[in-house]
Homo-oligomer: A and B are copies of this chain.
Amino acid sequence: MHKVERLLINYKTLEEFKRFKEYGLQELSMLEELEGNIIENDSDSPFYGIYFGEKLVARMSLYKVDKKFDQYFSPQQDYLELWKLEVLPDYQREGYGKSLVEFAKTFKLPIKTNPRVKSSDFWSRMGFEAVKYDMERDKGENPLLWSPEAATRSSESA
Contact = CB atoms under 8 A, between A and B. Distances in A.
B140 A84 contact: yes
B28 A139 contact: no
B26 A140 contact: yes
A145 to B, nearest CB: 12
Given A28-B133, A133-B28, A133-B29, A140 B23 contact: no
A98 to B, nearest CB: 20
A140 B29 contact: no
User: For the side of the interface on A, what is the size category?
Assistant: 20 to 34
A46 B130 CA distance: 21
Contact of A25 (B26, B63, B133): B133
Given A46-B135, A133-B26, A133-B29, A140 B117 contact: no
Contacts of A72: none
A55 interface: no
Interface string A113-132: 01001000000000000111
